[in-house]
A and B are shown apart, each in its own frame.
Chain A
Amino acid sequence: MCNATEVYPQCFKKFKMMIWLQKHISKEHPEYKKEIDLKRHRDCAEDDQRPCKHHVQPSYAIFQNHDSGPVQSVCNAIDDAPLEFSDCQSPDFASTLTYQNASLPCAYVPQEGECITSSDDPYYPFANEEEFNFAEVVTAKGLAGSVIEALLKGDCSLKDDLKHSLKSNYHLQNKIDQMEDRLRVDSWKKSRLEEITWKEQHAKEPIEFWYWDIIECARWFVWQPAYAEHLSYVPQQRFDEQGRRVYSEMHTADWWWERQVRISSAALQHHVQSCLRCADSNTDPARRQRYRDTDDLHVQCRPSYEFLQR
């Protein structure tokens, strides 16, 4: 049991998990955030004495690093990847090893129709902040259409500008529909399986299904402003003060790092470019398909900018 009084004497709340206490402090008493981070770090050091599977904190585990040292072991594993050893980025971790050349912004010119240009006005399609806030409140609270209608048309001490601009529930819903979102309802795609049915007698009922393009879904995630603080693009290796590896998020595990090493290797990239160019220029469709359909990672990985822009 974690008591909030240990961090902030005037708060008497109790939490089962340290992470919940941390969330509460950072939300309600942000000025005490540093104290809670220090406390969590201290508790983690105490918990080191126990076996890993008895750790009480969710999504947070510390494992012993049996290698001679973090920097040496990583540098031996990959020679071509430049590394950066930064000091004390977070109070939880004494040091963080970051894969330096990953996630660099690139000068890519979107093709026509590919990129949705964002308006400079953050409240678009609403005229101002008040309208946006009104729409947000009535949507988030799930107010019935008749109530919104009454609010906008009745005498509810709303500003005249807002009433004239939004007009009615119908117009408000239209504006909400105009809000920019890549995955709109109309972006669902319908597909059917050709020449295959559940049974022979179901020949007249083709198997149909609706789906979203999975790559578009991934684009949507990295584009959403709501996730801006929670996204990480670079694989990291985190170590505590004793030099032991700390695993918490997915990008701090080995899997991501190994993938990044594989797709970043310059020699491999050259090989892939030649493979893909060969596949692209080859007129034999079966051979081209074989190159593209292969699940071998060495051929999957990324082609050059020129190849993609062609």
Chain B
Amino acid sequence: MSNAAHLTNFSSDKKAWSVYMTIGNLSASARMATAMHSVLLVTLLPIAIKMRDIPLSQYNEQKEHNRMILQHVLHHILGPLIRADLRVFFAWCVDGHFRRCVATPAAWIADYPEHRDLHNIKNSVC
């Protein structure tokens, strides 16, 4: 899950872009209960520089560059999920046994503009 959050208008418009994760093994009621704390903050993505100082000729290029940086960061964080030697692991479960687990990304919950940026696709294509 990820969503950019506007924090304040003061101190030059602070933003935070948090990425959260949870697992599908948890039942839906436990996952949705706030008291269970079943969603973990994985990272805070770096916020891009302001676009107001960018000359118009470089605007699109800079936007593309910002998007690529996000791709780099996400690749660094989600990398273990696509590496065959890391995504298969032995986990110590609550019942005291070890189980072999395979971590697989199942869903990415985000707004449309963020999906667009993360998948690096053109605006209003799909």
Interface residues of A (CB under 8 A from B): 19, 23, 59, 103-108, 110, 115, 183, 191, 193, 196, 198-199, 202, 207-215, 217-228, 230-233, 248-251, 255-256, 259, 263, 276, 291-295, 299-303, 308
Contacts and interface: CB of A to CB of B under 8 A. Distances in A.
12 contacts: A110-B92, A198-B49, A198-B69, A212-B42, A214-B81, A221-B26, A221-B40, A222-B92, A224-B94, A230-B26, A232-B27, A233-B99
B92 A219 contact: yes
B72 interface: yes
Nearest to B30: A230
A202 to B, nearest CB: 7
Given A209-B44, A218-B91, A223-B94, A202 B25 contact: no
Contacts of B101: 218, 222
A233 B66 CA distance: 39
A107 B29 CA distance: 32
Interface of B: 21-30, 36, 38, 40-46, 48-49, 62, 65-66, 69, 72-73, 76-78, 80-95, 97-104, 106
Contact of A223 (B46, B91, B100, B104): B91
Nearest to A228: B94
Q: Which 8 A-B pairs have the closest CB atoms?
A: A105-B97, A230-B30, A211-B43, A108-B98, A228-B94, A250-B24, A230-B27, A302-B88
B84 A106 contact: no
What does DSSP make chain B's interface, helix, strand, loop or mixed?
mixed
Contacts, number: 169
Contacts of A227: 26, 30, 36, 38, 94
Contacts of B24: 250-251, 256
B92 A223 contact: yes
B90 A106 contact: yes
Contact of A231 (B26, B48, B85, B97): B26
Contact of B42 (A214, A250, A263): A214
Nearest to A108: B98
Given A198-B66, A212-B42, A219 B91 contact: yes
Contacts of B25: 221-222, 231-233, 250-251
Given A250-B28, A293-B82, A103 B99 contact: yes
Contacts of A210: 43-44
Contacts of B87: 215, 300
